[in-house]
Chains A and B, each alone.
With several copies, the nearest count.
Chain A
Amino acid sequence: MTADLGITIAGVEFANPVWTASGCCGYGEELARVFPLSRLGALVTKSITLEPRLGHPPPRVAETSAGMLNAIGLANVGVESFIDEKIPFLARQKTRTIVNVAGSTMGEYIEVCQRLNDVEHLDMVELNISCPNVDKGGMQFGADPSLTEEVVKSVKKVFTRPVIAKLSPNVTDIVEIARAAEQGGADAVSLINSMVGTAVDIETWRPRLTNNTGGLTGPAIKPIALAMVSAVHSSCRLPVIGIGGIAGWADAVEFLLCGATAVQVGTAVFVEPEAPVKIVRGLREYMRRKKLRTVNDLIGRVRKYG
């Protein structure tokens, strides 16, 4: 018996539930040198903004215990160059393309998504309303239920394919935000983005990031992400895409059991570029051993204590 790894979210079929996370696979070109992108369920691009952005000055990454901090600051080529220079490459790849969109204002989200709506070969957008590394926008949206609802609703008006809202973990109640996204018409929610954190060089007394704070990611945050995925899955009808510290297939299984329909692999790609491929392989092997026919046999099946 071979396991069927296919999943469907908002009518879109994915060959498997293992995607790469935004900001951790660029626009696909570099990763395609390491493995054929067709192995991925989907590739989520680096956040795209209206104008090109340089991001914060270096240093903008720092290593931590079983994780890292980043304050890249949404460096990206801007939506026009993205469409002209990056989409053609992605269109040739046999994988789903999800474009992550960020903005400083409501209008920016709308404008970028409007532009993207004309682009073929783009399966969904993911709204980054949770970036901790920019002064304006980003996390502000994702920390406020009504802004969340509004930004999703506005984007749904201009973008006709499915919209994923990517949620911030830096909130008191992520379920409330997920419900607001649902209310706004989101087709799915993805969580979590990075957690606000910092580190200081004790010799120079300088923060290790020029942005003073950054986003914590990697295995360190996995338990937090998993609890949030579980909570959102239990109280919100939208499909959940699990993100946070997934490094191996067993991590992916944990997220599926907690209710994720798909997972995104971020930081682990840095440490092991083939991680997503190994996760797909491991997941298939696990399903075979457990005699599971489809991914649905795993999703949300954690046996919670009563």
Chain B
Amino acid sequence: MTKPTCEDTFLKKRRSLGNDYYSLTFSPYSQAERCRPGHFVHLKLPGNDVFFRRAFSIAAVSPSAGEMEIIFKIVGRGTRAMAHLRPGDPINLLGPLGTPFKRPRKREHTLMVAGGIGFPPLLFLARDMISRGHDPKRIEFFYGGRTAGDVIERSRIKKLGVTFRPVTEDGSLGSKGLVTVPVEEFIENHDNGNCRIYGCGPEGMLKSTNELALRLGVPGQISLEAPMPCGIGVCLGCVVPLTDGGHARVCCDGPVFSIGEVAL
């Protein structure tokens, strides 16, 4: 776990990405440099009205500009309030929090398995890898959604030079069906020992990804969500059961866990 700071920053830019998705960029954020893919920030809306902080994976940082970006979807009261924030509004951020992803080896095929609002940390991971000399071509960016509108920031992903593989349940974009199907196909057509999988998305998708990785013997990690009162490991409210019978705190033992570690 990283040493977090609790600081007031300001909304610098707000982009509507359609379908209730938004991107918010905060600046100045003193921790931008220390943020790693898989880290998240715990965001406090002013007042008691949205009582808990809300957790959001870091989608991008610009250490030079002191900027940090999150991408989210409106799903409830907190995210609705966030969508109404305006540039200049102050926001308190606690972060960076959590244990980040471990990067794959350079020669490995990296399979990003993103679903819905699970894509932001994988975007950060892909970009970070590339900046560290990974070959974008060896990054397979599987991105599933119900429909085309759920697969957001497509041009941004493509611009990275990764192999972008959109999948939609209704077939309105990319291949039709669940995202795990083409993932499985890919692994079957490649050396599983040379693949590494990174998953983030809805529970069902993570469950399938975890099972499929275990079954096919592909190592990797998944990033989980849980209700998070504190985000720093003191409340024990965010635990998930582990396969070894114990509990782990998603906020600091995770949110990134190894394939097979969590009893999903």
Contacts and interface: CB of A to CB of B under 8 A. Distances in A.
B161 interface: no
17 contacts: A23-B236, A24-B235, A26-B233, A30-B234, A31-B232, A33-B4, A58-B239, A60-B239, A61-B227, A61-B229, A61-B235, A61-B237, A67-B51, A68-B229, A218-B51, A267-B229, A270-B230
B44 A70 contact: no
B22 interface: no
Q: Which 4 A-B pairs have the closest CB atoms?
A: A61-B237, A270-B230, A30-B233, A270-B229
A55 B249 CA distance: 13
Contact of A272 (B44, B234, B237): B44
A269 interface: yes
B240 interface: yes
A62 B232 contact: no
A34 B235 contact: no
B226 interface: yes
B247 interface: yes
A221 interface: no
Nearest to A65: B48
B226 A273 contact: no
Interface in A194-229: 218-219
A269 B230 contact: yes
A65 B52 CA distance: 10
Contacts of A67: 51
A219 B237 contact: no
Interface in A38-89: 46, 54-55, 57-68, 70, 72, 75
A297 interface: no
A163 to B, nearest CB: 24
Interface string A85-115: 0000000000000000000000000000000
A253 interface: no
A30 B238 CA distance: 15
A266 to B, nearest CB: 10
A205 B211 CA distance: 29
B204 interface: no
Contact of A55 (B44, B229, B236, B252): B236
Interface in A264-300: 267, 269-274
B246 interface: yes
Interface of B: 1, 3-4, 6, 44, 48, 51-53, 92, 94, 226-227, 229-241, 246-247, 252
Given A66-B48, A270-B235, 18 more contacts: A23-B236, A30-B234, A33-B232, A34-B4, A54-B246, A54-B247, A58-B238, A58-B240, A61-B237, A63-B227, A66-B51, A70-B235, A70-B237, A75-B239, A75-B247, A273-B6, A273-B230, A274-B6
B227 A62 contact: yes
Most buried by A among B229, B237, B246, B252: B237
A24 B227 CA distance: 16
Mostly, the B contact residues are loop
B51 A25 contact: no
Given A68-B229, A269-B230, A60 B6 contact: no
B234 A271 contact: no
Contacts, number: 93
Mostly, the A contact residues are loop
B51 A30 contact: no
Contacts of B53: 270-271
B235 to A, nearest CB: 5
A270 B55 CA distance: 13
B248 to A, nearest CB: 11
B97 to A, nearest CB: 10
A271 B52 contact: yes
A34 B6 CA distance: 8
A273 B236 contact: no
Contacts of A31: 232, 234
Contacts of A267: 229
A67 B232 CA distance: 18
A273 B51 contact: no
A272 B5 CA distance: 11
A57 B233 contact: no
B1 A57 contact: no
Nearest to B241: A57
Given A272-B6, A272-B44, A273-B6, A24 B234 contact: yes
Nearest to A67: B51
A75 B241 CA distance: 13
Contacts of A272: 6, 44, 92
Contacts of A34: 3-4, 6, 232
Nearest to B247: A54
Contacts of A219: 48
A6 B210 CA distance: 49
Given A30-B252, A58-B239, A68 B51 contact: yes
Contacts of B240: 58
